[in-house]
């Protein structure tokens, strides 16, 4: 396993997916006293999102080539999109109001757009596109599965996560991760621009 690729992918995915923030939102969308429903929704959301990230990460780039879109153009557009996400993470207040309604929230909003949204799907393509060999690709896949497993555990234990971290802790964490994500986004834009203008120079 490529440890460097694994850690790089895991940190980037942790920043954009934010398992703790996702768990707090999950907690507000499912009834607190229905543990069976909570586990079912958490498992379903984790499976759907990890499958989407792995498939889109592996086959998204060939699809883009079919459409005549270069990976560097995706880096720039993806970087802008990630920066937009980061800006809202830093400047907007999250709303977490509890519910007693029992409904299927696994696909929307948990899988799409929260766990496997435009930002994380774009990130998955970029990570796989930078993989030098099969070992690096496998490491990225393991990183996706690790973050998905961590998010699953956080969602199942979301009532305790909410009790420990609280609203203030969530606000601090979300804004800090937003700053890291903004820096990552600028790096993607920089790399895309440099790679696009290099042939011209």
pLDDT of residue 197: 87
DSSP state of 104: -
Q: Does residue 74 register a pLDDT over 70?
A: yes
| pLDDT for 42 | 97
pLDDT at residue 139 in the model: 96
* pLDDT for the residue 49: 96
Question: Where are the domains positioned within the chain?
Answer: 3-196
Predicted TM-score (pTM) of the model is 0.77
Q: Averaged over 69-97, what is the pLDDT?
A: 77
Report the share of the chain in percent with pLDDT over 90: 36
pLDDT value of residue 117: 79
How many CB atoms are located within 10 Å of the residue 136 CB?
20
Q: What is the pLDDT of residue 146?
A: 97
Q: Where are the alpha helices (DSSP H) in 30-117?
A: 35-66, 71-91
Residue 31: its pLDDT value, please?
87
pLDDT higher than threshold 70 for residue 98 = no
- Give the span between the Cα atoms of 172 and 157, in whole angstroms: 20
The token pair that represents 31 in the structure block: 């009834």
pLDDT band per the 50, 70, 90 thresholds, residue 96: low
DSSP H/E element including 183: helix 158-197
Per-residue pLDDT of 165-184, as tens digits, reads 877 887 787 788 788 878 87
The mean pLDDT value for 12-30 works out to 87
Output the CA torsion 48→49→54→59 (10° steps): 80
* pLDDT above 70 for 136: yes
- Yes or no: say if 97 and 148 are a contact pair by the CB < 8 Å rule: no
pLDDT for the residue 37: 93
């Amino acid at each position: 396993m490529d440890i460097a690729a694994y850690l790089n992918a895991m940190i980037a995915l942790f920043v954009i997916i934010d398992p703790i923030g996702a768990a707090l939102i999950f907690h507000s969308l499912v009834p607190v006293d229905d543990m069976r429903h909570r586990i079912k929704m958490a498992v379903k959301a984790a499976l759907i999102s990890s499958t989407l990230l792995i498939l889109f990460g592996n086959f998204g780039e060939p699809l883009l080539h079919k459409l005549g879109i270069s990976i560097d153009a995706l880096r720039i557009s993806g970087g802008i999109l990630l920066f937009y996400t980061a800006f809202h993470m830093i400047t907007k207040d999250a709303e977490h109001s509890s519910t007693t309604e029992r409904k299927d929230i696994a696909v929307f909003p948990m899988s799409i757009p929260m766990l496997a949204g435009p930002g994380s799907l774009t990130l998955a393509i970029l990570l796989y596109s930078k993989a030098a060999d099969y070992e690096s690709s496998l490491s990225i896949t393991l990183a996706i599965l690790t973050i998905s497993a961590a998010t699953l555990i956080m969602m199942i234990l979301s009532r305790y996560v909410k009790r420990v971290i609280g609203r203030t802790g969530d606000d601090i964490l979300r804004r800090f991760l937003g700053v890291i994500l903004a820096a990552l986004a600028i790096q993607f834009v920089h790399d895309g621009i440099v790679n696009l203008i290099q042939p011209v120079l």
